[in-house]
Chain A
Amino acid sequence: MSSIEFRNVNKTFDGGKVTVIPNLSFEIKDKEFVVLVGPSGCGKSTTLRMIAGLEEISGGELYIDGTLVNNVAPKDRNIAMVFQSYALYPHMTVYKNMAFALKLKKTPKKEIDEKVMWAAKILDLEPYLNRKPRALSGGQRQRVALGRAMVRNPKVFLLDEPLSNLDAKLRTEMRSQISLLHKRLETTFVYVTHDQTEALTMADRIVVMDKGIIQQFDTPEKLYSEPANLFVAGFIGSPQMNFIEADLTRRGNNLKAVFNGNEIIIPEEKARKLSSYENKSVIIGIRPEDFSLAKNGKDSIEIEPEITEMTGSEINIYFRLDGNRYIAKIKSDLKPDSLRTLYLKPDIRKLHFFDASTTRAIVH
C-alpha cells in the first residue's frame, strides 16, 4: 500500500482565480524518503502543506495510507511537520515543546517522559531540556523541531526546507543527521527544498516540480543521467549542464551534429533514435564534468578560455561559443595555460539530446 497518493489533485487560490497546481498525480511508497524540489513558487511547499492539511485541496483526492483525507483535520492524519523557521513555542521549555502534542492527547505522564527522553537522547538534546528556544542556537532549535515531530510517532514526516536557515557547515552536518534519522525510524519522509544538492544526497526518489507540474519523478541517479526534459537537465547538477543547438546531418555512414563550425560524430546507438531528426536541429546537453582535454582537434571543440577557476581538485573553464557561455570541469593535474587555445573533447557517451520545440529528451 502506498503511504501517500495524489490523484488528480488541483489547487487554486483567490476563489479559483489563480491555479497553482493544475493536476497532480503521484504516489509515495511506505518508508520512502521523497524530496520535492524546484525553483521558488513551483508549488512544492503547497503540495507538502496539502499533505499536512494546512492547505485545502481544491479538487481531486489525497490518500494517506489508503484513507481519503481531503476533509480530515491535520491532527487526525497522523503526520508531523518540521517548519523552515522551526516554529518552536517560545514560552515553553524544550521538554514542554516536545511533550506538547502528547499532553494534548492526554497521554500518561510516564509515557510522555519516556518518549521525550528517547528523542532527546537520539538528538543530543538532553542538556537543553529546561532551556527556552531563545537560549538555543539555530542547529539546536532545528533538532528540537525534529524531536517534537519524532515524539509523536507519525506515519509521515513532513519537512519544509528545514535546513535553509542554517549556515553551510551546519547544513551538511544536519543533512546526514536527518538521513540517519530516516533509516532509524523507518518512516516515510517527505522533504521540500530548493537546493538540488540536498535532494540528490538525501532522497530515495525526487519529485522535480516547475509551475505546479511534475517534470520528473525518479531516483537521483536517473534524474542525473536521464533527465526527462530541458528543465530537469538544467536544474539537476552543479554547475549546470551546457546546452547548445545543433543541426543533425548525415555524412556517409555517420550522423553528425554540427554547431559553430564544429562537428561531432554521434555514436550508433544514439543515432538510431535520432533518425527522424535528420536535417533538423536539436538541443544537445553535456555536463561540464563530461569534458576532457585533448591534444588536437579530432572529435574535439576548439575553444579559447575566458576565465579559469581552480577549485582544489578541478579547474572550471568558462568559454564562449557563438556568444553563449559554457563551462567545462577538468581534473587539474593537467595544467593548461589559461590564455592559449584548448581542445575540449566531450564524452560522446554522455551526450543528451532534446527536442528543441517540446524540450523533451529524445535519447541519452
Chain B
Amino acid sequence: MHKTLKRYFPIFVLPTLSVFAVLFLVPFVMGVFLSFTHFKTVDSSEWVGLANYIRIFTTDKTFMNSLWLTVRFTVVSVISINVIAFSVALLLTRGLKGSNFFRTVFFMPNLIGGIVLGHIWSLIINGILAFFGVDITYDPSYGFWGLVVMMNWQLIGYMMIIYIAGIQNIPDDLSEAAAIDGASPAQTLFRITIPMVMPSVTICTFLTLTNSFKLFDQNLALNGKSADTALLALDIYKTFYDHTGLKLDQWHGEGQAKAVIFFLIVALIAFVQLRATGRREVEQ
C-alpha cells in the first residue's frame, strides 16, 4: 500500500507543500536573515551583524517598554481570566436549569473579531470616561486596564467551555466518595476538583498566555491612538510601518530583529508548556 501511495506525492503533498514553502518557510528564513541587516526592501539589504539587536536593548526604549507592558498584561490577564472562567464553570456544572443559556451567552464574545471587539470597547470605555471629561488616551493605565477588561470579556467564555468539559470528566464516584468521607464543599473543591482538572488548567493557561502575549488587533483598535500602550506585536508593526524617510532601512532591520526575539519568546513559552503538560499528564 505504501509503495503505491508513495508515487502519489505530487497529488497529495506537493500543492500544500509548495504553497507552505514559498509563502511561509521562505519568508521565515528571510526574516531571520534580514534581522541581521539594514534593509529598505527585501532585495536591498546590508549586513550589520548584531547591530539591530543591540539597538533594541539599549538606545531604542520602545521595545523594552512594550515587552514589559506585554508581560504585565499577560500575567494579569492569565490570572483574572482563568480564575473567573473556572469559577463560572463551577457554577455551570451543578446541573442548574438554564446552564446552557448562560454558556451560550458567555461564549459568544469569543467569536467577535479583534478589530470589531476593540472598537466596541473603545466606544464604551470612552463613553464612560466622557463623564469624567477624559478619554482612553488620557492615561496609559486606562488603556492598559481597558485592554484587560476587554481580554477578559473575550476569553472567559472560551476557557469556561474547556473547564466545564474538564469538570464533567471527573468521575462521579470521586465526589461521592468524598461526600461519604465527610468532606466539606471547600475541601472537595481543593482536594478533588482542582487536582482532577489540572490538564484543563494547563491548556487554558497556555491558551490565555499565548493569546495575550501575541495580541494585536484589539490593541490596535482600542489603543491605536495612545502613545504608550502598544504591546509587543503592535510595537513591531509600528517599527516597520510608522516610520518614513531616512533611516528606513534601519527601522526595518530593527523591526525584524524585534520580530525574531518575539518569536523566540513565544517558542520558549510553548516549549516550557509542552514539558510541563507532558510531565503532569504522566502523573495523572
Query: What bracket does the count of chain A residues touching chain B fall in?
Result: under 10
Docked Cα-Cα span, A73 to B3, in Å, equals: 11
Say whether B1 faces chain A, with CB atoms less than 8 Å apart: yes
- For the residues of B in contact with A, the DSSP-based class is helix
Contacts of A290 in B (CB 8 A): none
Docked Cα-Cα span, A54 to B1, in Å, equals: 7
Query: What bracket does the count of chain B residues touching chain A fall in?
Result: under 10
Please encode chain A, from 30 to 63, with 1 for each CB lying within 8 Å of some chain B CB and 0 for all others.
Answer: 0000000000000000000000001010000000
Docked Cα-Cα span, A54 to B4, in Å, equals: 11
Docked Cα-Cα span, A56 to B2, in Å, equals: 10
Residue of A nearest to B3 (CB): A56
CB B283 to nearest CB in A, in angstroms, measures: 33
**For residues 1 through 24 of chain B, which have their beta carbon under 8 Å from a beta carbon of chain A?**
1, 3-4
Docked Cα-Cα span, A297 to B3, in Å, equals: 67
Docked Cα-Cα span, A324 to B255, in Å, equals: 81
Contacts of B1 in A (CB 8 A): 54
Residue of A nearest to B2 (CB): A56
Residue of B nearest to A71 (CB): B3
Contacts of A56 in B (CB 8 A): 3
CB B7 to nearest CB in A, in angstroms, measures: 13
Docked Cα-Cα span, A56 to B6, in Å, equals: 14
Contacts of A54 in B (CB 8 A): 1
CB B2 to nearest CB in A, in angstroms, measures: 9
Docked Cα-Cα span, A56 to B1, in Å, equals: 9
Contacts of A73 in B (CB 8 A): 4
CB B3 to nearest CB in A, in angstroms, measures: 7
CB A18 to nearest CB in B, in angstroms, measures: 17
Docked Cα-Cα span, A52 to B1, in Å, equals: 11
Docked Cα-Cα span, A141 to B58, in Å, equals: 71
Contacts of B4 in A (CB 8 A): 73
Please encode chain A, from 239 to 275, with 1 for each CB lying within 8 Å of some chain B CB and 0 for all others.
Answer: 0000000000000000000000000000000000000
CB A138 to nearest CB in B, in angstroms, measures: 26
Residue of B nearest to A53 (CB): B1
CB A232 to nearest CB in B, in angstroms, measures: 34
Docked Cα-Cα span, A73 to B1, in Å, equals: 9
**For residues 24 through 73 of chain B, which have their beta carbon under 8 Å from a beta carbon of chain A?**
none
Contacts of B3 in A (CB 8 A): 56
Residue of A nearest to B1 (CB): A54
CB A136 to nearest CB in B, in angstroms, measures: 27
Please encode chain A, from 51 to 82, with 1 for each CB lying within 8 Å of some chain B CB and 0 for all others.
Answer: 00010100000000000000001000000000
**For residues 219 through 278 of chain B, which have their beta carbon under 8 Å from a beta carbon of chain A?**
none
Residue of B nearest to A54 (CB): B1
Residue of B nearest to A73 (CB): B4
Please encode chain A, from 69 to 98, with 1 for each CB lying within 8 Å of some chain B CB and 0 for all others.
Answer: 000010000000000000000000000000
Docked Cα-Cα span, A310 to B253, in Å, equals: 89
**For residues 74 through 100 of chain B, which have their beta carbon under 8 Å from a beta carbon of chain A?**
none
CB A97 to nearest CB in B, in angstroms, measures: 20
CB A53 to nearest CB in B, in angstroms, measures: 9
Residue of B nearest to A55 (CB): B1
Residue of A nearest to B4 (CB): A73
Docked Cα-Cα span, A54 to B2, in Å, equals: 9
CB A69 to nearest CB in B, in angstroms, measures: 15
CB B50 to nearest CB in A, in angstroms, measures: 46
CB A68 to nearest CB in B, in angstroms, measures: 17
Docked Cα-Cα span, A335 to B3, in Å, equals: 64
Closest 3 CB pairs of A and B: A54-B1, A56-B3, A73-B4
3 pairs of residues in contact across A and B, judged by CB atoms under 8 Å? A54-B1, A56-B3, A73-B4
